[in-house]
Structure 1
Amino acid sequence: MTAEGCVLAADVFSVCLTHALSTEREEIMGLLIGELDKRSVVHISALVILQRSDKTPDRCEISPEQLTDAAMYADSLQQKLKRPMRVLGWYHSHPHITVWPSHVDVRTQADYQMMDPCFVGVIFSVFNIDKQTQESQVQVTCFQSVTNLQGAHEYMRREVPFFVQKRSTFEPHNLQSLSSMPQVLLTEETLAYKSTIPTEKDEKNLVTQLYNASVYSASVCHVMDTMIGPLMSSLTNRLTENKESTKKLIEEKKRLQEQIDAINKANTDGS
């Protein structure tokens, strides 16, 4: 059995894309949570943003501990939402390179499909410049791995039909994932900096320590500039819009209630 399609909720897509655009130097990654319908179509409605232990420009790995934590989170969502929820995919970014999965991605995907044959992989290609328009473009693909007939242990990409389901609002759990993203990025930078701090046994080089501290400061400023500021602005604007919508709905409810009261009164007088 293989996945016949993948439907990504719009708010999940937005969080994944925001995560992918958070850095153009290294790949980011996360896990996708959802349910499987009778047609073997994967419906993704939640995600888990993963903290990278090793930041590289062309490689990302998910530890067994992270998979376990994501499975526990899926169980908690299942109890809260009262519908089947499980880890059904992973996503990562390809900054400055094509959207197509590498041989490492295909091999990694094959490993995940051993746990669940409908497990899918989603790749966001970001920070690529269109040669004709000279504009930055974003490409997305969804794939699975299939055995290459030329070798029993060779795998190749199988493209999975991919759709984004329109949704006008953010689910609370996805809004929480979005708001937690800056903290995840800051934790990554802090852990990377702490790993460079020499112990008492190590040789202390003042110039190296100053350089590492300046890199850490620049990284923190980058997160604040590109993530925290815009995110705060976006959430503030969304809050303002929600308050205006709530006010209009209250007024509409009041108007409809007055009409209902008038109709009821007319019926009472007529009887």
Structure 2
Amino acid sequence: WAPPTRARRTKMAVQVVQAVQAVHLESDAFLVCLNHALSTEKEEVMGLCIGEVSTSPGAPVALPAAAAPRAAGTLTPLMPTRLNDDTRARSKCLRVFLQVDTVRIVHIHSVIILRRSDKRKDRVEISPEQLSAASTEAEISFCCAPTWSMTHRLAELTGRPMRVVGWYHSHPHITVWPSHVDVRTQAMYQMMDQGFVGLIFSCFIEDKNTKTGRVLYTCFQSIQAQKSSEYERIEIPIHIVPHGSIGKVCLESAVELPKILCQEEQDAYRRIHSLTHLDSVTKIHNGSVFTKNLCSQMSAVSGPLLQWLEDRLEQNQQHLQELQQEKEQLLQELSSL
């Protein structure tokens, strides 16, 4: 292996000059993504990421084209590697070298859970037209009003403009790496916004050695392969930003999850129930399956979510009581001075 020449580096950098150098995902948004990904084991789920993009003066960086996926719970930041003779000599994997004028970091503050119109075992997509409609406050099948209102509320809370900066989806029982379809879909999204990123959460994966479940996640963008019309993935370093509490907007997204799952089941049942050629026995069977699915969702999603909210409320009340006691103690100390 030899480091690429300057001419080759320049050629390689053409397609990724505006690549994102890192993604900062807030821990409460990360929690909502995990809850959504773990809500169903049979189909993929999808949502949009709301946040902002910050820029700063750039420098030569090397972005790994095949970085290792991150395991849930890993909070160590993984930043782009600066180029020098030692890192070039020690590099074992393919890297994309580029000279960037500005360093772009995507900050994800919240997520929007999308209602799927088509549920599949190995694929979930929305078209670029739908994404554009959601970003421009147009009406779309999975309702854009919550998209706009959430973005507007988040902008009011932070005092900064917010927008759709990426998408996420789950890979139940399969690898965390994006498929060719995922890479092409990401490339289409980047045609509208070069800073758009994609997140994948691989869940329901069992470690063969420890026999325990794992959740892996990764962030990526797409670049056009050299001398080919196909696209390749480029891994984007992702860092989970710790938070002491869950934000209001993320809490609302978490509460919306059971409602959206219920709406999906209702839409599927009504679509089948409206068919005129079904006999009575088939309709009764479909109704039973519909009821069973709703009960399963209540047991697996709604019940644990309600218990978590009750525990959180009790914890907050206890913390509030401790703060009140501390306040009274400080007032007594002040009055004694």
- TM-score using structure 1 length: 0.92
For 1:139 and 1:169, locate their aligned partners in 2 and report how far apart those are by CA, in whole Å.
23
* Deviation by residue 1:122-141 (Cα, 9 ceiling, x = unmatched): 00000111111121110000
- Deviation, 1:149, is 0.6
Partner of 1:142: 219
Distance 1:32 1:100, change over 3 A: same
| Mapped contact 2:150–2:249 kept (Cα < 8 A) | no
| Mapped contact 1:50–1:66 kept (Cα < 8 A) | no
- Deviation, 1:207, is 2.4
Partner of 1:268: none
For 1:180 and 1:12, locate their aligned partners in 2 and report how far apart those are by CA, in whole Å.
14
* Deviation by residue 1:154-211 (Cα, 9 ceiling, x = unmatched): 1011000011110010101110110111000000001001010135xx2231222122
| Mapped contact 2:44–2:171 kept (Cα < 8 A) | yes
- Could you tell me which of 160, 163, 186 is aligned with 1:86? 163
Amino acid at match of 1:109: Q
| Mapped contact 2:37–2:170 kept (Cα < 8 A) | yes
For 1:233 and 1:40, locate their aligned partners in 2 and report how far apart those are by CA, in whole Å.
39
User: Are residues 1:230 and 2:304 paired?
Assistant: yes
- Could you tell me which of 20, 28, 43 is aligned with 2:37? 20
| Mapped contact 1:71–1:87 kept (Cα < 8 A) | no
For 1:167 and 1:190, locate their aligned partners in 2 and report how far apart those are by CA, in whole Å.
36
Secondary structure at 1:196's aligned position in 2? Answer: helix
Partner of 1:129: 206
User: Are residues 1:205 and 2:222 paired?
Assistant: no
Partner of 2:62: none
Higher relative contact order (CA 8 A, sep 6+): 2
Amino acid at match of 1:173: V
| Mapped contact 1:94–1:123 kept (Cα < 8 A) | yes
* Deviation by residue 1:69-122 (Cα, 9 ceiling, x = unmatched): 235642342134311211101000000000000001001101111111111100
- Deviation, 1:51, is 0.2
Q: Report the number of matched residues.
A: 260
Task: Specify every segment of 5 or more residues in structure 1 that has no aligned partner in the other structure, as ranges.
Answer: 264-271
Amino acid at match of 2:199: V
Amino acid at match of 2:330: L
Alignment of 1:121-270 (within 5 A): 121-151=198-228, 153-199=229-275, 202-263=276-337
For 1:184 and 1:66, locate their aligned partners in 2 and report how far apart those are by CA, in whole Å.
17
More helix by share: 1
* Deviation by residue 1:205-250 (Cα, 9 ceiling, x = unmatched): 1222122112111110111000111011000000000000001011
Amino acid at match of 2:220: F
Task: Specify every segment of 5 or more residues in structure 2 that has no aligned partner in the other structure, as ranges.
Answer: 1-17, 56-102, 138-143
Secondary structure at 1:99's aligned position in 2? Answer: coil
- Could you tell me which of 101, 105, 112 is aligned with 2:189? 112
The alignment-based identity, stated in percent, is 44
